[in-house]
Amino acid sequence: MAARVLQLAKLISDSAATIDNACTENGTSVPDLDTRFDPRGEAFRGHAGVSIAVNTAISAAYQLLATLRPAPTSILNTAFGFMYSTTLRVAFEANVSTIIKEAGGNGLHVDEIAAKANIDPKKLVRILRFLATHHIFLEIEPDVFANNRLSSLLDIGKPLSELQSNPVDKFEGTSGLQAAIARFGDEAAKASSYTWETLHDPKTAFSEEPEDAPFGRFIGKRETYWDWLEEPEQVAQLTTFGVAMRVMNSTLAGGAILKGFDFKSLTENDLIVDVGGGVGNAVLPIAQANPSVRIIVQDRAAVVKDGVEHWKQLFPEALDSGRVTFQPGDFFAPQSVKGASVFLVSRILHDWSDKYASQILSNLRAAASPHTKLLIIDSIMQYVCHDPAVEEGTVPGWDSMRKDAPPPLLPNWGLAGAQTYGSDLHMMAMHNAQERTLPHFRKLLEGAGWRLVRVHPDPANIMPQVEAVPI
């Protein structure tokens, strides 16, 4: 035990030294937790070796915590974990971060925060103290709270008066991060609480139908999340969801998609079909980087209309030339475009169980030519243990993306890479769907007539590209 503790402590110490040396050489620093979040403060992450050092330190710190903390305490804290999302939602919906920011100064007494938020101060103080204990907000004096690097991310960036008078559209014009927080803290958290009941009920336990997700049990009717969002009473939730999707789409629109498959090599004779492509954010950087390739974006008719308006603002010449077009489509129906050079399926399959994902892939296979490429953009689930496929080298690119953490850390880097596992359970709760491991992708693809040939890696495992060809 003592040796393991010392190993973990050394990994933390060595990683901290690596980060500090890289920052010193490049004239940057790790941002202080007690200051407001500033994107420019994240520059240190781009220095050579820092990314691995950060992941090592995070993984080792959590493993050291799990090792040293009494086991009953760890289990009870996990059982009590719902309080993290509960308290965060209260602080977020009450606009506490914005109230503190607008007050100026070094902090604000909870009585003044509560008065502006119209909340009982005796209850709010306990919520803020819980969050501050977990490094979200600061209690700088008794009952006086200030923002820090984490709590400042709860600030939407608009005046409090506007947030309180127009809650439906309050996320418009924002990055989407806060909109995602709103949706996770509301229906996602509530739906997740019904996971056991859904898995235990013989009527839903083995179902692959989206209506049988825990979400349906939460709303009290057998309905998909997508249908629920389009109900007239859910206009605020639908608007917020649309903005939340920008968190993911902004990564693609920022050029991440160009770091995988060689889209720049395509010519005017090539056609990309973005299946379920929304307003076309994923293919926007492709169209900007390659002035020759033709692109069709397919989605529901209402989304297509929004997509055309979106491109009129961002890249109207691509529409005017006819090089980029939008087309109503249903990926559960036969694919109308035959023989495309590339079928792009970005952040779609994880919304569906195998039954429906297979149907999407089969429809594309029926429309493919022998030379068609299929590109799937989704997170790839990793085993917690060592993955023998890394040594096998059967899938080019996978070995460079999936590197085991150094012992005694968990091979999958533990808590440093836990976001994908949370996303997987989120998909189960909301859609009866899932993220998938690479062997799972291979099996799914083969069943639909595709052969997995390569993984274009993404170190953050947010935007890896799985490339397949017809069998």
Query: Would you please indicate which residues are annotated as catalytic (active-site) residues?
Result: 350
Q: Nearest CA to 454 among 440, 438, 437?
A: 438
CA distance 102 to 108: 10
Count of other CB atoms within 10 angstroms of residue 289: 13
Residue 466: partners with Cβ closer than 8 Å, 6 or more residues away: 375, 376, 377, 378, 380, 438, 441, 445, 452, 454, 455
Answer yes or no: are the C-beta atoms of 182 and 240 closer than 8 Å. Answer: yes
Answer yes or no: are the C-beta atoms of 53 and 15 closer than 8 Å. Answer: yes
Phi, psi (degrees; rounded to nearest 5) at 214: -55, -30
Say which residue the tokens 């040594």 belong to. Answer: 391
Tokens of 184: 């996770």
CA distance 468 to 471: 9
CA distance 12 to 304: 49
CA distance 417 to 403: 12
| Residue 219 CA, distance from chain mean position | 24
What is the per-residue DSSP string for 187-224?
A: IIHHHHTTHHHHHHSTTTTT---GGGSHHHHHHTSS--
Q: Beta strand 294-299 with 324-328: parallel, antiparallel or unpaired? A: parallel
